[in-house]
Amino acid sequence: MPDSRQQRIEDAVSAFPEVFGLRGFPGKKFTLSVRASYIASDGTVMLYTLTEEGLPFAKGTVAELTREVVAARP
């Protein structure tokens, strides 16, 4: 039986494009790390954003990230 906490993280990550842009960083591309993302003590899914080079960039809730995601430019 899969870990329900891990499934919540995977479901949250899958709601976003594999590669995306962020409103405040035009021209940059980002991804999400399932491995680094986690469930906070209050039950909130915290998603870790990585740069296109795979470096840690930021963490935030699904709602926070949803407000900032834009289409990645080619």
The 10s digit of each residue's pLDDT in 5-40 is 999 999 999 999 999 999 999 999 999 999 999 999
**Domain limits for position 48:** 4-70
Residue 7 backbone phi and psi in degrees, to 5: -65, -40
User: Buried (b) or exposed (e) across 12-49, using 16+ Cβ within 10 A?
Assistant: bbeebeeebbbeeeeeebbbbbeeebeeeeeeebbbbb
Kindly tell me if the per-residue pLDDT of 73 is higher than 70: yes
Q: What pLDDT is recorded for position 74?
A: 77
- Six-digit token string for 63: 């709602």
Instruction: Encode pLDDT of 37-69 as tens digits.
Output: 999 999 999 999 999 999 999 999 999 999 999
Number of domains into which the chain is organized: 1
As a whole number of angstroms, the distance between CA 74 and CA 71 comes to 9
